Amino acid sequence: MSLLSVRDLVVKFAMRDQTVTALNGISFDLNRGERMGIVGESGAGKSITGFAILNLISRPGFIDSGHVMFDGMDLAHTSDKALRTIRGNRIAMIFQDPMVTLNPVLTIGQQMVETLQAHRSLTRRDAEKIAVAKLREVYIPAPEERLQQYPHELSGGMRQRIIIAIALLLDPQLIIADEPTTALDVTIQADIMELLLELCQSNNVSLILITHDLGVVSQMTERTLVMYAGRIIESGRTRAIINDPQHPYTQGLIKALPQQTLPGERLKQIPGNMPALSAIPPGCPFNPRCEYTVDRCRTTIPELVRVGPVEVACHEVQRMNRDTETEEQTA
Amino acid sequence: MFAYLVKRVFQAAVVMFVISLISFSIQDNLGDPLRELVGQSVSEEVREQLRDELGLNDSFLVQYGRFAKKAMRGDLGTSYFFKEPALEVILKKLPATLELVLGATFIIIGLSVPLGVFTAIRPHSIFSRVIMGFSIIGISVPVFLTAILMIFVFSVEMRILPSYGRGDVVHVFGYWSTNFLTWDGWKHILLPSAALASIMLPLFIRLIRSEMMETLQSEYVRFAWAKGLRPRRIWFVHALKNTLLPVITVGGVQIGTMVAYTILTETVFQWPGMGFMFLEAVNRVDTPLIVAYLIVVGFIFVVTNTIVDLIYGLVNPTVKLARMGA
Ligand SMILES: Nc1ncnc2c1ncn2[C@@H]1O[C@H](COP(=O)(O)OP(=O)(O)O)[C@@H](O)[C@H]1O
Ligand SMILES: [Mg+2]
């Protein structure tokens, strides 16, 4: 039984002159304690996926269709009251930029206590005790004093640790972390990731880690989704995807990793840019940037199909795969 | 904190200096004080002698210096009409005006916060559209028209509220008698305060609404939703607190400005405050009283602004007063 099951999720934005589709039929499952990465370039729809799971898409965006099944409940179609019992309690979220995630006019203590009190009937004193314990878990020095402080008195790294502590307050079953280190100093990025990994493992918490960095995904997760223009174009075990990427886009992402580049050599970027939502080409959305494009890619959208250990949405990969299969059979 | 205070007081002093200079040059150019003092029947030689004695032939700067020195001691000249120190005349009228401004401030705060918040949270509801429609009309209707309309509706047609004067007041101390301790006093102050509030109210509703809408888009509000907090807590604790910070600054300035608008309101409602007095002083060319009024109003303006800045520093945790001084 999976913990989270997303089915055919479609999210749209009603812009002034047209309605654009930001997520186009996203489906995946996540098991208890499993850690999954979502990768893709900026604008692929990674954050929207994270927010849509918690039904936190705000105007002009909306969930058009699909299901987010969590513990027998469809989070995409349930009451605000039912959603409140899930948000922050059983599914917690860590945002990208810790400098703007905490409320500047409330103390750390207030922001932690209110979270606990929203889900459990606790006195302030008891809530503060739990808060201090969680701050200790994320290695915040002098946690009692932090409760009295305002966010601006703390560094970015410290704030992100506090946000992680807030996410852990109610012992959730799933944490969605949206690029949790992108806004931080490079020197502390690894520390924060390590902390997150340690906490998920020791508490048996599932993790959805959103990032544009395949290197991070390979260290942190067991499974990976690769997104492009609002679709999943490849998914499977992280090791399989890193070692033997099938989709030309995934291959491009891996070639662009600094580890794949010799010193002094230029990073191999994928040419071109991801299309804007209003200008997604017909057929495979990646076709204008792909070196294997054939006519079919410009007319027909490829489905996700199992190819070896992974699922991939690419006509050419599927064709080549079929060819090898026939060869093997004739041989 | 201390450095900041010193800096603010210095700024206030500079502003007061400019106001006094402007006021004084008005005095210098408005009417002939001699005519007010001695009338027509005095010969030219006597007049010239009086001019010398009064120092009216000295240079502008010397005259201003004398004026400023006296003003520092609280001597703003003698009213031609009342034959009393001008400052005293004004101080007697000041409480009535301040109570009017206070009443209007209460009305503005009491209405603009809930209406601004509601129109931000439910921008598409019919009620919000009606409020926003009225606020556009409210901004463009002049205050004396609102006042006359109110008198017509509530005093003439419905006969439930008095249309002029302060009614029964209770003496508190010094020159201060208050409207707020008798039922009749409340009835009398309601219409004038409402009329005065009507100028600023639409502005405040719009200001609070736009600040609130912006705050509701912020990441920390989104994070508050992600934490599973109740909407009421998100709106009134997370969003409203951040909304009101910039509103305090603008609000303070506007409340200072409102003192000037009391001239119109007090005239329509014959409210015995210093605005009404000022208009009479202008009619009588009572120059010392006019100048004293300008200086007192300027002083109130400077003091409210300074207090507002200090309050802002106190309620906003990201502003360290020590740092503001640097
Ligand atoms: N409030 C919004 N209004 C319109 N379009 C939006 C909004 N938020 C996100 N989008 C669009 O949705 C797409 C996916 O965004 P996002 O999920 O944030 O990308 P990323 O993969 O970088 O996290 C982007 O093309 C973005 O332009
Ligand atoms: Mg993002």
CATH code of residue B126: 1.10.3720
| Predicted pLDDT of residue B324 | 43
* Nearest CA owner, ligand 1 atom 23: A47
Q: Which ligand is nearest to the CA of A227?
A: 1
- Residues of A within 8 A of B242 (CB-CB) are 103-105
Bridge-based pairing state of the strands A305-307 and A206-210:
unpaired
Inspect the interface and report whether the beta carbons of A100 and B219 lie closer than 8 Å: yes
Q: Does A12 contact ligand 1 (Cβ within 6 A)? A: no
How high does pLDDT run on average in chain A? 92
Task: Name the strands in the sheet holding A4-14, side by side, starting at the edge strand that comes first in the sequence.
Answer: A19-30, A4-14, A61-70, A73-74
DSSP code, position A285: T
Mean pLDDT of A35-57: 95
Inspect the interface and report whether the beta carbons of A56 and B225 lie closer than 8 Å: yes
B92-130: b or e for each residue (b if 16 or more CB lie within 10 Å)? bbbbbbbbbbbbbbebbbebbbebbbbbbbeeeeeebee
Give the tens place of pLDDT for each residue, B148-198: 888 888 888 888 888 888 888 888 888 888 888 888 888 889 999 999 998
Bridge-based pairing state of the strands A231-237 and A223-228:
antiparallel
Mean pLDDT of B133-143: 84
| Predicted pLDDT of residue B50 | 76
Bridge-based pairing state of the strands A206-210 and A223-228:
unpaired
Give all strands (DSSP E) within A109-194, no chain letters.
174-178
Inspect the interface and report whether the beta carbons of B228 and A95 lie closer than 8 Å: no
Point out the least confidently predicted range of A108-112, B58-62, B205-209. Answer: B58-62
Residue B20 belongs to a domain: no
* Nearest CA owner, ligand 1 atom 18: A47
In order, the DSSP letters of A187-225 are HHHHHHHHHHHHHHHHHT-EEEEE-S-HHHHHHH-SEEE
Taking the CA of residue A145 and the nearest CA in chain B, the distance in Å comes to: 16
* pTM (2 d.p.): 0.85
ipTM of the complex: 0.93
| Predicted pLDDT of residue B25 | 81
Residue A73 parent element (H or E): strand A73-74
| Predicted pLDDT of residue A326 | 72
Mutational test site, ligand 1, from A11, A41, A47, A53, max ligand atoms within 8 Å of CB: A47
Q: What percent of chain B has pLDDT over 90?
A: 33
How many domains, chain B?
Answer: 1
Mean pLDDT of B55-81: 82
* Three-class DSSP category at A182: coil
| Predicted pLDDT of residue A262 | 65
Instruction: Give the confidence band of B249 by pLDDT, cuts at 50, 70, 90.
Output: confident
Q: Does A226 contact ligand 1 (Cβ within 6 A)? A: no
User: In this model, does residue A264 exceed pLDDT 90?
Assistant: no
Instruction: Give the confidence band of A248 by pLDDT, cuts at 50, 70, 90.
Output: very high
Point out the least confidently predicted range of A226-230, B54-58, B225-229, B244-248. Answer: B54-58
Mean pLDDT of A307-327: 83
| Predicted pLDDT of residue A283 | 92
* Residues belonging to chain B with any Cβ–Cβ distance to chain A shorter than 8 Å: 217-231, 233, 237-238, 241-242, 245, 316-318
| Predicted pLDDT of residue B1 | 63
Separation between Cα atoms, residue B244 and residue B247, nearest integer Å: 5
Residue whose entry in the numeric block shows the structure tokens 């949270």: B121
| Predicted pLDDT of residue B40 | 67
Q: Which residues pair with A209 in a beta bridge?
A: A37, A177
What are the backbone dihedrals phi and psi of residue A208, each rounded to the nearest 5 degrees, phi first? -110, 115
Domain ranges of chain A: 4-90+172-330, 105-169
Taking the CA of residue A247 and the nearest CA in chain B, the distance in Å comes to: 34
| Predicted pLDDT of residue A147 | 96
Instruction: Please name the fold of domain A4-90+172-330.
Output: Rossmann fold (3.40.50)
Give the tens place of pLDDT for each residue, A88-144: 999 999 999 999 999 999 999 999 999 999 999 999 999 999 999 999 999 999 999
Residue A112: how many other CB atoms lie within 10 Å: 25
Q: What percent of chain A has pLDDT over 70?
A: 96
* Three-class DSSP category at A186: helix
| Predicted pLDDT of residue B26 | 78
Give the tens place of pLDDT for each residue, A265-282: 666 778 888 999 999 999
| Predicted pLDDT of residue A265 | 67
Q: Does A51 contact ligand 1 (Cβ within 6 A)? A: no
Instruction: Give the confidence band of B322 by pLDDT, cuts at 50, 70, 90.
Output: very low
Residues 6+ apart with CB under 8 A from A261: A267, A268
Mean pLDDT of A217-227: 95
Give the tens place of pLDDT for each residue, B22-55: 888 877 666 666 666 666 677 777 777 877 777 7
Ligand 1 atom index nearest CA of A227: 21
Mean pLDDT of B199-219: 92
| Predicted pLDDT of residue B33 | 65
Query: Which three-class secondary structure string do you get for chain B?
Result: CHHHHHHHHHHHHHHHHHHHHHHHHHHHHCCCHHHHHHCCCCCHHHHHHHHHHHCCCCCHHHHHHHHHHHHHCCCCCECCCCCCEHHHHHHHHHHHHHHHHHHHHHHHHHHHHHHHHHHHHCCCCHHHHHHHHHHHHHHHCCHHHHHHHHHHHHHHHCCCCCCCCCCCCEEEECCEEECCCCHHHHHHHHHHHHHHHHHHHHHHHHHHHHHHHHHHCCHHHHHHHHCCCCHHHHHHHHHHHHHHHHHHHHHHHHHHHHHHHHHHHHHHHCCCCHHHHHHHHHHCCCHHHHHHHHHHHHHHHHHHHHHHHHHHHHHCCCCCHHHHHC
Mean pLDDT of A78-85: 95
| Predicted pLDDT of residue A36 | 97
Residue B123 belongs to a domain: yes
Please report, for residues A22, B88, B163, B170, B173, the alpha-carbon distance to residue B185 in angstroms, rounded to integers and kept in the order given: 62, 24, 12, 9, 17
The domain of B188 spans 87-271
